[in-house]
Amino acid sequence: MGHYEIKLSDNDRFELYEDGAYLCSFTRSTFRDTLTALNRSSHWIGSILKLLNKKFPVTVTTTCKTSLERIVELLQEDGIADYLRSKGYRVVKLLDATDRDLITYLESFGYVVEGQLDGLPYSTTETFRGDRVAN
């Protein structure tokens, strides 16, 4: 078995030399195909892989998510709001429109809205009844 050297030529491209003579170039993703094309044994390819990993170790970056990050990814915004509501919290999303504007918008599509508006009882049906009486 000859003397082998691996050099990093440019961005993630390696060059393999055998006894000082250029043999081939490859990337990590083309390693197996390139070296198999040289008609060498799988044992030889394994030895070269060992040499590659020794000289140029693969860096594995792992990201550890916090519990909150995992929950946000799983449930997303609406799911988290629903979860808090199920625990008895009152959860609302503040909007850049007044309640009156939102009610008027929904009523234009036939919705009936009842509840407190500006501290006073409000009902779509009462508004309609008032309109009918005035006409």
DSSP string, 25-41: EE-TTTHHHHHHTTT--
Residue 134 confidence (pLDDT): 39
Contact, 10 vs 58, CB < 8 A?
no
Residue 113, token pair as written in the block: 């809205």
Q: What pLDDT score was predicted for residue 120?
A: 92
The whole-number pLDDT of residue 133 equals 40
- The whole-model pTM stands at 0.45
Q: What is the pLDDT of residue 78?
A: 94
pLDDT at 71: 94
Per-residue pLDDT reduced to its tens digit, 114-135:
999 988 999 988 655 444 443 3
- The domain ranges of the chain are 4-55, 62-93, 95-135
With a cut of 70, which residues of the chain have pLDDT below it?
Answer: 1, 126-135
Instruction: Report the pLDDT value the prediction gives residue 90, as an integer from 0 to 100.
Output: 95
What CA–CA distance (Å, rounded) separates 119 from 97?
17
DSSP 135: -
